[in-house]
A and B are shown apart, each in its own frame.
Chain A
Amino acid sequence: MLQVDPFKKSCKTVSPFINPKLNEGMQNAAYCFGPLPLWLRRRNLTKTLLVMKLTMLFLTVGFLHVQATGLSQTITLAGKNMEMKQVFAAIKKQTGYVVFSRKGLLDEARPVSVTVHDMTLTDFLDLIVKDQPFTYIIVEKTISLSRKEAPVVSPPSPSFYKQKGPPVTGHILDVAGRPLAGASVLAKRSKTSTVSGADGSFTLEISEGEDVIVVSYVGYESREMKLTTGSSSLIIRLQQSNSQLDQVQIIGYGSTTKRLNPGDVTTITSKDIEKSPVVNVLEAIQGKVPGLFIQQTTGQPGGAFNIRLRGSANFSQGAIPPLVIVDGVRYPAGALPVSGSSFGPNNFLQGGSGLNYLNPADIESIDILKDADATAIYGSAGAYGVIIITTKKAKAGASSLTGNVYTGISVNGQTAKLMNTEQYLMLRKEALKNDGLAIGASDPDLNGTWPQDRYNNWRKELMGSYAQSTNASLTYSGGAQNTNWLVSGNLRSNGNIQKHKGSFKDGSLRFSLNTGTADEKFKFTLSGNYLASNNNMVPWDFSNTAILTAPNAPPIFLPDGSLDWSTGSNAAGDINRIYKNVTGNLVANGALVYKPIKQLTLRTNIGYNNISSRELMEYPTTTKAPTYTAAAAETHSLFHHYEVRTITVSPYAEYNTTLWKKGVLSIKSGGEIDDKITNWDEIEGIGFSTDAMLTDPSSGNTVKGRYSLSPFRSLGFYGIIKYVWNQKYIIDLNGRRDGSTKFGPSNRFGNFGSVAAAWIFSEEKLIKDHARFISFGKLRGSYGIVGGDAIGDFAYLSTWQVQGNNYDGKVGLKPNSLANPSLQWEKNKDAEAGLEIGFLNNRIYVEANYYSNLASNQLISQPVSSVTGFTSVSLNSDAVIRNNGWEMYLNTTNVKTKNFTWSSRVNGTIPHSKLLHAPSQTQNPNFVSGKPVTGILLIKYNGVNPQTGYYNFTNAKGVAADYSTILPQADKTEFIDLAPKFYGGLQNSFTYKQLSVDLSIVFTNRKGQNFLGQQTFAVGIKDANSTTDWLRRWQNPGDQTDMPRVSTNFTNYFLRQYNFVNSTGAYSDVSYARLQNVSIRYRFSRDWLQKARLKDMSVYLQGQNLYTFSRYHGMDPENLNPGVIPPLRVFTAGINFTL
């Protein structure tokens, strides 16, 4: 192993590994900074600066040039007994490479005799240093010499000198046999220590006789073993630690462990993710992360999600989603620029989600960064939280082939019970009777046109009963020496639950490769994932049609399943639309790591993501009645293509050293460049000669084209200083300067930062001696200022946009928006305090966090009077919002015996938001000082008037009446908060021998708009079916009920209903608990596997969204939208094997 340090000036010690003064620090440090703690060496400030100099150099010169220089250089030289200095002079002359070394080192050199012709420089150097006391390393065009061995100890420790015995030697490996570099080895009695080298080897001097050595490594369980002086060729294998505290957490530009993280990060690993048979990984982490609220807006595969991290720091409409980073690239996790046309999937997928195009099976871990310490380093982009998704990477180990296949069905989720024909007609007749009207010509459901004994269950007819899904993946991975690889393929197919079939299918291929030089100075990782998806489900959600069609209306389908047009119209004409969406998603990541010296890491991460899609939407004549003459002229075909391309480049340098004896200092500095382009184009054709030509929209009678390209860029520089003293006290400082194209040139840059500290009090002697039941305890706090830029692009600039149509032979322009040149960064001041405490060897582990975030200078789309020409303007509001809350987490191992274990995890979040200072610019009625910003002002509802049967409201003057005219905003006196009051989840895992069972429950306590509150028209008019709740409607004076009288009168079914929709009556407690996931897995025994010649095999049953406990039955309490397919119930069975 090479030990080279060209920057060393005075210290005579070359190898630090046997400096006893460093023992403790090193051992501790082995925990600190990930898997490579080789840099733990004493350094003075000068060296730090020197190293930073190199850092700058490498950052700018670029890493790509570094690795291979010298290999192609050749030397031709012949001579006898040449002085080393002569040889090096020749090298310099022939190759331009300079040589430098520590003072006096060359004086010890022996003369050499060589005769070489065109020998490569490295071979030549290898040849000439063979018998020299030094070795070499090439950095750039510099050859550095350093002493080969380090036998001298200075200053020697007294105890060490006393009874030195022969050294202990060995290798430290993981279970798979991969060497663990940087593991710490401590001899307890001798008080000596060392760190393993790149090949896992170590040499440790111990005192004469017996000693106990402790071997530890981050993320692995420590091992203690007795041995005697002179033990050699030991093989010490470390087991991977199951302790959460030692789990690696990916943080901004690096990683750490839960134990030593002063910030608030929750990590979910593939172990948890693979229990859920889901399309979108957000479903799998729902309810598992304190502070992260996830709401599925439609059950349709490929649909959208609302995600919000820690309440509503911003009061723009809708939550601003956290930044999602996939393998180093800022990922478009939200809605994609799919076609906005009414022929597109807007209504169907509710906008979709970019994460649908990332197979959960490819994800290794998800880290959710919450407090200022974790997020400030992302500057503006991290203002609303950060989610880092890391895909599976190649790991060392013997080659293996793993397969996983599951298949199953999805069935409809919870929906409201609708009235049948008898009930619907009874209410219709009653409505006419209430209005004193007779059945007329426009009442075909009652006047005999439609049979009154006909019942169509529209939901069943249109929404279908089940869909099939299948998922298969195959992974081949392995490693040899310094190179590891992984190749995997996935296929997924999800059927459409609705009557019109079609499916959402995708296939993906991924590879991951990491390699490096034998000395691990240079490392290179590359991974790529390409997913191609094909969605041909007709993008139409029939949920609303199923409700708003009279149950005795004529049948939609003929017995053969085709549409029945005999009545001249058909509510399901859209079923004959054709839709094809082919989406490709490439996520590629490359990282170059160079460690010129142990303390310094130079790294550049390049992430690339490209999601592109082709959508073809056909609207043939068959969507209209065959008798409709204009059908051909109205045929429509639209081709929409989009592409979202993101490049993130982040170079950084990290320098680690020990400082003040037991302290470890880590300094990181770097930058990040983001470049995103969103592009879409469209060809629309209207009026086709024949339906067969719809495949080519450009062949329409009228053809339109549209094109859009929007660039976005951001730039940031940051620095991180982290100091850990004696594994007890941690201080972390982050600073970032950010530039964003969302602001005008004078407001473009902002400075943000955070400070965090943690105290691991369980390391204190007092606790160790007197409270041994506390196995781990940490207090931490953080404070930071982060800036947000969550506003549309170019809102600062006055612009004109192209108007769609041409007028008099010319295309016109129109104003794009109200420009506000003074837009600037939002300010979020985030504070958090946390306590983490483990008892009884961490069998009980509790974490509690309190956070309080003050958001000011909010960027909002402020409603303005439409007299201004627009209804809103982007501005920095002077409002101040406080978001605070409690997040709790409890992890217990309830039972742990040889055959049976039961462990539980509970988490809960209690969020609050409060508008401390209402915006002064103009009034949004729902922003009430002192109230949450997630609420809404409503009219006070007093229930149904028992005398009249109408809704009764109290206006602002306190007058209760059955108002039949629209009550103005001023009469809204009641405030209801729609944000969850608390939410969380509970997971239980049981393992009995080979069988394991996992149950996951999620719960949410909140208020939401109920079914009746989402009905624009009350029951009474034709086709307005509704829930069976209406059977409780008011009928006679004196009736005490919660449902009003039915009516066909506009005032009653619309105006009174309008008041109701805007009243407290429209909102209900929609709290629920849901058995979100059950996973039952049987893992075959080792004996059986050996007989079957398999490495591993298990079979499993999984279920998703199995049962919902709620007092609210109107509709699914999660998506809260009766017009959209609710989250589906999924049942699957699968097998997983490793050859």
Chain B
Amino acid sequence: MHCSMKIFNSRSYIFIIATLLSATLTGCKKYLDTALPSNLIATQDAFMSDNAVSAVVTGSLSSLTSDGIFSGGTGINLAYLSGLYTDELQLTYPANATFVPYYTDALSTAGVPKAWTDMYAKILAVNSAIDGINSSTATLYNKNQWLGECYFVRGLLYFYLVNIYGDVPLTLTGDYKANNGLSRTSTAQVYQQIIADVQQAQTLLSYDYRDPYSQTTSVRDRPNRYAATALLAKVYLYTGQWNNAEVQADSVINNSNTYKLLTTDQAFSLNGKETIWALPPTTSSKEYDYLMYNNGMPAVIPSGKTPGSAYNMYAAMSNSLLGAFESTDNRYATWARPVVVSPTAANPAITYYFPNKYTSSAIGGQNEIILRLAEIYLIRAEARAQQKNISGAQADINVIRTRAGLPGTTAADVTGLLSAIAKERQVELFTETGNRFFDLKRTNTIDGVMNSAAPQKGGTWSSFMQLWPIPPGDIIQDPNIAQNTGY
């Protein structure tokens, strides 16, 4: 019977082992090819269709509103913090540790502004998107829109970076190895890149507003060619290229079918004609300025309470801002909201004025306007004044003043016009995207203004404070980056 041993002879033994081993090993390699976590998409798949690329680019736009300097986070919102930092806002609850360093102009490396880290994260997303779109093997039908939006966002972010921090490292790819040891690039060079990016956006984007599926829409959430043009005008203004600024502003203002000044109470309406580009709040949220300055706080507050302690409203318009309005200014009537704290036996009534540009308590009722026509008029006014076009400048200023219910400007020379424009910008553009802070800096008036404003807030001003400190961790990780002087 030992013939039955045959099944265990050595040849078949080797055969069995070999078959099993090869089957096992192949199976193993396959076994380890697991699916990605449900919320992840491999980069190679993210650029394979217009729909996917649209999601990537939409993500970059969306990140501008979900967090960062334009978002509703009071700890990072640029308009809010720079308003406290300069002379626009007053702190209504002095014990708040987040805002005290801004308000008293006492920023330190212990709690640096988050804007730096936040904006570089957004720049990485845009850079990676540009890398991905350019190297995609798929046919992208709306490639121009996607690339144009990316260049627009990158230009925008670098514009804010240089204005907050001065010289900054310039990252143009998604490769971290290339980006991790960069030195700071001079402000002038960064501006060159910003101009190149925004010009490219201008060429690539369409004249009409588009939606995420590249269909024409009335919603002004995604930048179009005019948004890029408006941004370019602002960049030229900031870099003193007056003629270029005027030319770009012209092309926006001349498109009067699309863009038109509205009455002050309508200026911030949803997708209104004054809007060139606006950011919607996140899906479930109200407009950010409404949340930061209003949020249903009653016009009369019981005695013994403050807007800060009882309603988490920590910032109201400062006395110097309120004082800058002429008495019959429509804007004062519509854009400043009084809130009265009832008097007590010991204390008289106190009235706070809160920014009131955004008044809709409805979710999706208003969007945060980043670029609007009024600013473009003021850009052109300034560009014209700098080029000694007195009447042209006066005309632009008066467009704004007329809308505010005010008589024409009396300024008739360059100096007078420039200061009239500065004043007009202060009351027109208050608590909008850090304009006041940047205007004071680019017109070299900041030290003068702040030397008197800072002590009133309990701080002292030094010229180095024009630039904010950068995260100390980055200086440790990248020895080529030096901290801004003074910090």
Interface on A for B, CB 8 Å cutoff? 49-50, 53, 56-57, 60, 85, 88, 98-103, 106, 142, 441-442, 449, 568-569, 629-630, 633, 673, 686, 702, 704, 707-715, 739-741, 745, 748, 793-794, 797-816, 818-819, 863-871, 873, 922-925, 965-966, 968-969, 1016-1017, 1021-1022, 1050-1051, 1054-1055, 1058
Q: Of B29, B42, B284, which is within 8 A of A702 by CB? A: B284
Q: Across the interface, do A60 and B20 meet the contact criterion of CB distance under 8 Å?
A: yes
Partner of B56, one of A712, A813, A818: A813
Kindly state whether residue B167 has any CB partner on chain A within 8 Å. no
Contact partner of A1055 (CB less than 8 A), chosen from B59, B108, B128, B182, is B108
List 21 contacting pairs A-B, 8 Å CB cutoff, sorted by A.
A60-B24, A100-B4, A702-B363, A707-B39, A739-B28, A794-B37, A797-B36, A804-B282, A807-B61, A808-B212, A809-B212, A811-B58, A812-B58, A813-B52, A819-B43, A867-B179, A867-B481, A870-B124, A923-B476, A968-B483, A1022-B95
Bound-state Cα–Cα, A864 to B120, Å:
12
8 Å CB interface, B22-38 against A: 24, 28-29, 31-38
- B241 at interface, CB cutoff 8 A: no
Additional A-B contact list (6), CB under 8 Å, known A819-B43, A1054-B97: A704-B283, A813-B59, A864-B180, A865-B182, A1022-B95, A1050-B104
- Docked Cα-Cα span, A800 to B95, in Å, equals 40
Do B211 and A809 have beta carbons less than 8 Å apart?
A: yes
Question: Given that A708-B37, A807-B58, A864-B180 are contacting pairs, would A966 and B110 also be in contact in the complex, using a CB cutoff of 8 Å?
Answer: yes
Using CB atoms and an 8 Å cutoff, list the residues of chain B in contact with chain A: 1-2, 4-5, 8, 13, 16-17, 20, 24, 28-29, 31-43, 46, 52, 54-63, 65-66, 94-95, 97, 100-101, 104, 106, 108-110, 116-117, 120-121, 123-125, 127-128, 169, 171, 174, 176, 179-182, 211-213, 219, 221-222, 280, 282-284, 295-296, 298, 302, 304-305, 309-310, 347, 363, 471-479, 481, 483
Q: Write out the residue numbers on chain B whose beta carbons fall within 8 Å of the beta carbon of A633.
A: 296
Closest residue of chain A to B478 (Cβ to Cβ) is A865
User: How far, in Å, is B344 (CB) from chain A's closest CB?
Assistant: 9
Question: What residues on A are CB-neighbors of B472 within 8 Å?
Answer: 968-969
Check if B97 sits within 8 Å of A1017, measured CB to CB.
yes
A702 vs B364: C-alpha distance in the bound complex, in angstroms? Answer: 12
> Is the CB–CB distance between A808 and B222 below 8 Å?
yes
CB of A807 within 8 A of CB of B62, answer yes
Once A818-B176, A864-B180 are accepted as A-B contacts, the answer to whether A813 and B37 lie under 8 Å apart by CB is no
Most chain B C-beta atoms within 10 Å of own C-beta, residue among A101, A803, A813, A869: A813
Residues of A within 8 A of B309 (CB): 569
Are B169 and A867 in touch, CB under 8 angstroms? yes
CB atoms of A864 and B58 under 8 A apart: no
Flag if B476 contacts A866 (CB, 8 Å): no
Closest CB-CB distance, A97 to chain B, in whole Å? Answer: 11
Tell me whether A813 and B55 are in contact in the complex, defined as CB-CB below 8 angstroms, given that A99-B1, A739-B32, A740-B32 are known contacts: yes
Q: A709-B38, A1055-B110 are in contact. Are A808 and B58 (CB under 8 A)?
A: yes
Are A708 and B4 within 8 A (Cβ)?
A: no
A873 touches B58 (CB 8 A): no
B4 A800 Cβ-Cβ under 8 A:
no
Q: Is the CB of B121 within 8 A of A101?
A: no
Q: How far is the CB of A842 from chain B (nearest CB, A)?
A: 46
With A56-B16, A702-B363, A741-B32 in contact, do A922 and B180 touch (Cβ < 8 Å)? yes
* Interchain CB contact under 8 A, A869 and B284: no
Q: Which of B4, B106, B280 contacts A808 (CB 8 A)?
A: B280
Q: Are A53 and B8 closer than 8 Å at their CB atoms?
A: yes
Main secondary structure of the interface of A (DSSP, over half): mixed
- Once the chains bind, are A711 and B66 in contact (CB under 8 Å)? no
In the bound complex, how far is the Cα of B127 from the Cα of A19, in angstroms?
A: 80
Q: How far is the CA of A1021 from the CA of B94 in the complex (A)?
A: 11
- Nearest Cβ in chain B — how far from A1034, in angstroms? 23
B32 touches A713 (CB 8 A): yes
**Closest partner residue, chain A, to B43 (CB atom):** A798
Q: Are A800 and B56 in contact (CB under 8 A)?
A: yes
- Name the contact of B283 in the complex, choosing from A101, A106, A673, A805 (C-beta under 8 A): A805
Task: Tell me whether A965 and B28 are in contact (CB under 8 A).
Answer: no
Contacts of B121 in A (CB 8 A): 866, 869-870
CA distance A666 to B37 in the complex (A): 42
Which residues of B are found within 8 Å of A100, using beta-carbon distances? 1-2, 4-5
With A442-B94, A803-B66, A807-B221 known to touch, is A629 a contact of B296 (CB < 8 Å)? yes
Measured CB to CB, the closest approach of chain B to A453, in angstroms, equals 21
The answer to whether B54 and A866 touch across the interface, beta carbons within 8 angstroms, is no
**Chain B residue contacts of A569, Cβ below 8 A:** 309-310
Closest Cβ of chain A: how far from B116's Cβ, in Å?
7
A554 to chain B, nearest CB (A): 12
Distance of A251 Cα from B233 Cα, bound (Å): 73
Cβ B37 vs Cβ A715 within 8 A: no
Residues of A within 8 A of B213 (CB): 810
CA of A833 to CA of B104, assembled, Å:
62
Nearest CB in chain B to that of A816: its residue: B40
Cross-chain contact B60 with A812 (CB below 8 angstroms):
yes
Q: B124 touching A815 by the CB < 8 A rule?
A: yes
Which residues of B sit under 8 angstroms from A740, Cβ to Cβ? 32
Q: Is the CB of B174 within 8 A of A815?
A: yes
Residue of B nearest to A144 (CB): B4
> Can you name the residue of chain A whose Cβ is closest to the Cβ of B285?
A805
Considering the chains assembled together, what is the distance between the CA atoms of A924 and B479 in angstroms? 12
A50-B8 in contact (CB<8A)? yes
Q: Is the CB of B46 within 8 A of A870?
A: no
A1050 surroundings in chain B (CB, below 8 A):
100-101, 104, 106
Distance in angstroms between the alpha carbons of A486 and B477 in the assembled complex: 59
* Chain A neighbourhood of B5, CB < 8 A: 100
Residues on the B chain within 8 Å of A101, using CB: 1-2
The answer to whether B34 touches A712, judged by C-beta atoms less than 8 angstroms apart, is: yes
Which of the residues A799, A803, A1017 comes within 8 Å of B59, measured between beta carbons? A803
On whether the beta carbons of A449 and B304 are closer than 8 Å, the reply is yes
Contact B37 A793 (CB under 8 A): yes
Specify which chain B residues have a CB less than 8 angstroms from the CB of A867 in the assembled complex.
120, 169, 171, 179-180, 182, 474, 478, 481
Within the assembled complex, what's the spacing in Å between the Cα atoms of A1079 and B397?
87
Please determine whether B176 and A711 come into contact, CB atoms closer than 8 angstroms: no
B1 neighbours in A (Cβ, 8 Å) = 85, 88, 99-101, 106
Q: Tell me the smallest distance from the CB of B176 to a CB of chain A, in Å.
A: 4
Which A residues lie within 8 Å of B474 (CB)? Answer: 865-867
In the complex the two chains form, is B31's CB within 8 Å of A812's CB? no
A1050 and B35 CA atoms in complex are apart in Å by 52
**A814 CA to B126 CA in the complex, in Å?**
9
CA distance A745 to B20 in the complex (A): 22
Query: Judging by beta carbons under 8 Å apart, are A799 and B40 in contact?
Result: yes
- Quick check: B110 and A869 within 8 Å, CB to CB? no
| Residues of A contacting B31 in the complex (Cβ-Cβ under 8 angstroms) | 673, 713, 715, 739
Is A707 a contact partner of B38 (Cβ separation < 8 A)? yes
- Distance in Å: Cβ of B136 to nearest Cβ of chain A: 13
Which residues of B sit under 8 angstroms from A808, Cβ to Cβ?
A: 58, 61, 211-212, 219, 221-222, 280
Give, as a whole number of angstroms, the nearest-CB distance from B292 to chain A. Answer: 14
Query: In the complex the two chains form, what is the Cα distance from A704 to B471 in whole Å?
Result: 34
* A797 and B66 form a contact (CB under 8 A): no
**Which residues from chain B contact A805 at a C-beta distance below 8 Å?**
62, 65-66, 282-284
State in angstroms the CA–CA spacing of A849 and B1 once bound together. Answer: 58
B283 near A748 with CB under 8 A, answer no
Output the residue of B36, B106, B309 with the most chain A CB within 10 A: B36
Pair B37/A711 contact, Cβ less than 8 Å: yes
The docked-state distance in angstroms from the alpha carbon of A712 to that of B31 is 11
Closest to B220 in A: A808
In this complex, what residue of B is CB-closest to A702? B284
> Which residues of chain A have C-beta atoms less than 8 A from B58's C-beta?
807-808, 810-813
CB atoms of B97 and A441 under 8 A apart: no
| Cβ contact within 8 Å between A56 and B109 | no
Q: Are A711 and B34 in contact (CB under 8 A)?
A: yes
A630 nearest in chain B by CB position: B296
From B13, B29, B284, give the contact of A53 (CB < 8 A).
Answer: B13
Contacts of B35 in A (CB 8 A): 711
Q: By the criterion CB–CB under 8 Å, are A799 and B41 in contact?
A: yes
**Which 5 A-B pairs have CB atoms at the shortest separation, nearest pair first?**
A869-B124, A812-B59, A807-B62, A810-B212, A710-B37
